Amino acid sequence: MAAEKITSRSQDYSQWYLDIIHRAGLAENSDVRGCMVIKPNGYAIWEKMQRALDRLFKDTGHVNAYFPLFIPKNFFQKEEQMAEGFAKECAVVTHYRLRSRQGKIEVDPEAKLEEELIVRPTSETIIWNTFKNWIQSYRDLPLLLNQWANVVRWEMRTRLFLRTAEFLWQEGHTAHATQQEAEDETRQMVEVYRRFAEEWMAMPVLVGPKSEGQKFPGAVYTLCIEALMQDGRALQAGTSHFLGQNFAKAFDVTFQNDKGQREFAWATSWGVSTRLIGGLIMTHSDDQGLIVPPRLAPIHVAIVPIGKTDEERDQTVQAAERLAQALRDLPRESFFDYEPLIVRVDKDFQHMPGFRFAEWELKGVPVRVELGPKDLAQNACVLARRDMGKEGKQLGVPLTEAPARIVTMLKEIQSSLFAKARAFRDRSIHQANSYDEFKKKIEDGGFVMAHWDGTRETEDRIQEETKATIRCIPFDRVKEAGQCMVTGRSSEGRVAFARAY
């Protein structure tokens, strides 16, 4: 493998991002416009994310199900805002057969569908159309469902993981007997996302509602988790929508309450997607390559035996294999989602140790073990942390103690990555007290906390003039009366603006 250089972040952040994805084997563009191939190293991260999220969903009472990929066109007619929000960018199936004519494959004009089908951009409509048959009485509620699926939105400008025509996600859809219960669910799920972002991804987030201008089409309101990338741009990382009775009314989903009256059901939906992988990369990685927090790492430990002679190599490989097995045999624990540690022994003696170390760094493996003849003579090894340079190395670690030390190190890396990302995020939150100050600060990146009058017009004007949007109205913002930086009208607290992905 030729060691192509990764563009440095300071030189070109966008190119650095693509270089990481390319060199770490995470994904690539396919020959299908806007659709990506998620390569094994990228998909392995998604699998870890899925496992952790799925457990969090199940622990909060949700079950998985699967609904059709296709949505009849008329379903979009039923919920106006949805049609507005999604109809402009969707894949439309119009025929159900190809035919061969003079050696050319072509669409069979006789196999035209009576009604066109849309490849789901999101599944509220098909699911609420189904709920109609599932919900009769308050005893049938709540319905707490989740679906792992692919969805398609015909994006014009795409970027790997962050914005692609097809992507993978989970979409939760719940139905409730009362508004309060649905609102509690909306809040609970954004809190699940916050926990996942912070405790698994080690990615700090702001949590709170979106403004009207940024909410989901069809929602009464949208809660979100909002992260900050290293280049100072924000990333919407997950959303949880309170849908009110909009979909129940559109699809006529009523239930008999405990007083015998018919009522429309209350709805939520919430989702995160493979976009999180983009967020993960841009939160932690550096100019040497990918950095993955241990709880989501597809490979936890790479052991690199070193030797010049065949005998040295045999002996260090054997010791490496024994250590690997000891690590795999450790009791399963909740920190690692009850999965065994994944350990690789690197037998690539064709390359120099420095090259091999760099390859594991590039791939983001949290802990590297170096094991040469001199180490082995002392029954010891060297532990190296991906998130630190030489100062993070532990020399002369006895092999018998290595498994426990490695587990401790993995846990330290997890919390250290979070602390580092949080410190960066916190020092990237600025305040602006005038529109001029805002315009200057927004150029420097990060979140800019400013007063806003709560109207859509002002929000739109700010976006037009500065390319910044309201990312989040944080739950934990300080209550502080003020005046909108643009109109001077009264405001009850600052909101978080940023330029975003």
Decide: is 3 part of the binding site for a copy of itself (CB under 8 A). no
User: From the list 67, 216, 336, 501, which residue makes contact with a copy of itself (rule: CB under 8 A)?
Assistant: 67
Query: Do the strands 70-72 and 112-119 form a parallel or antiparallel pair, or are they unpaired?
Result: antiparallel
Long-range contacts, 310-318 (Cβ 8 Å, 24+): 312/372, 312/373, 313/349, 315/373, 315/376, 316/371, 316/372, 316/373, 316/376, 317/345, 317/347
Nearer to a copy of itself, 72 or 482 (CB): 72
Q: Pattern of binders to a copy of itself over 75-104, x per CB under 8 A?
A: -xx-----xx--xxxxxxxxxxxxxx---x
Smallest distance, a copy of itself to C-beta of residue 154, A:
4
Q: DSSP code of 211?
A: P
User: From the list 49, 52, 117, 250, which residue makes contact with a copy of itself (rule: CB under 8 A)?
Assistant: 117
Extract the tokens encoding 194: 């916050």
Strand partners, 142: none
Nearer to a copy of itself, 143 or 224 (CB): 143
Give the full edge-to-edge strand order of the sheet including 447-451.
429-431, 447-451, 494-498, 469-472
Nearer to a copy of itself, 7 or 30 (CB): 30
Q: Are 319 and 399 in contact (CB under 8 A)?
A: yes
Nearer to a copy of itself, 43 or 242 (CB): 43
DSSP string, 134-182: H-SBGGG--EEEEEEEEEE---SS-BTTTB-SEEEEEEEEEEESSHHHH
Smallest distance, a copy of itself to C-beta of residue 82, A:
10
User: From the list 8, 14, 61, 68, which residue makes contact with a copy of itself (rule: CB under 8 A)?
Assistant: 68
What are the residue ranges of helices labelled H in 335-401? 353-363, 373-377
Smallest distance, a copy of itself to C-beta of residue 64, A:
5
A 10 A CB-CB count for 30 gives 14
The site for a copy of itself, by CB under 8 A, has a size of 65
Smallest distance, a copy of itself to C-beta of residue 466, A:
30
Residue 5 to residues 41, 178, 357, 358, Cα–Cα distance (Å): 19, 57, 15, 11
Q: Pattern of binders to a copy of itself over 261-300, x per CB under 8 A?
A: ----------------------------------------
Q: Are 155 and 198 in contact (CB under 8 A)?
A: no
Decide: is 44 part of the binding site for a copy of itself (CB under 8 A). yes
Decide: is 378 part of the binding site for a copy of itself (CB under 8 A). no
Q: Pattern of binders to a copy of itself over 138-177, x per CB under 8 A?
A: -------x---xx-x-x-----------x-x---------
User: From the list 3, 61, 66, 335, which residue makes contact with a copy of itself (rule: CB under 8 A)?
Assistant: 66
The Cα–Cα gap between 451 and 392 comes to: 43
Decide: is 37 part of the binding site for a copy of itself (CB under 8 A). yes
Residue type at 84 in one-letter notation? E
**Among 61-69, 208-216, 416-424, 436-444, which window interacts with a copy of itself (CB under 8 A)?**
61-69
User: From the list 21, 24, 56, 118, which residue makes contact with a copy of itself (rule: CB under 8 A)?
Assistant: 118
The Cα–Cα gap between 231 and 395 comes to: 35
Smallest distance, a copy of itself to C-beta of residue 355, A:
16
The Cα–Cα gap between 187 and 169 comes to: 20
Query: Do the strands 63-64 and 143-152 form a parallel or antiparallel pair, or are they unpaired?
Result: parallel
Residue with tokens 């760094």: 361
Smallest distance, a copy of itself to C-beta of residue 167, A:
10
Decide: is 349 part of the binding site for a copy of itself (CB under 8 A). no
Burial class (CB in 10 A: 0-12, 13-18, 19+), 313: middle
Q: Are 221 and 242 in contact (CB under 8 A)?
A: yes
Strand partners, 172: 146, 270
**326-345 positions binding a copy of itself, by CB under 8 A:** 332, 338
Residue with tokens 């795999």: 328
Smallest distance, a copy of itself to C-beta of residue 286, A:
25
**Among 111-119, 200-208, 209-217, 257-265, which window interacts with a copy of itself (CB under 8 A)?**
111-119
Smallest distance, a copy of itself to C-beta of residue 401, A:
26
Decide: is 355 part of the binding site for a copy of itself (CB under 8 A). no
Chain residues binding a copy of itself by CB under 8 A are 28, 30-32, 35-40, 43-44, 46-47, 63-74, 76-77, 83-84, 87-100, 104-107, 116-119, 126, 129-130, 133, 145, 149-150, 152, 154, 166, 168, 332, 338
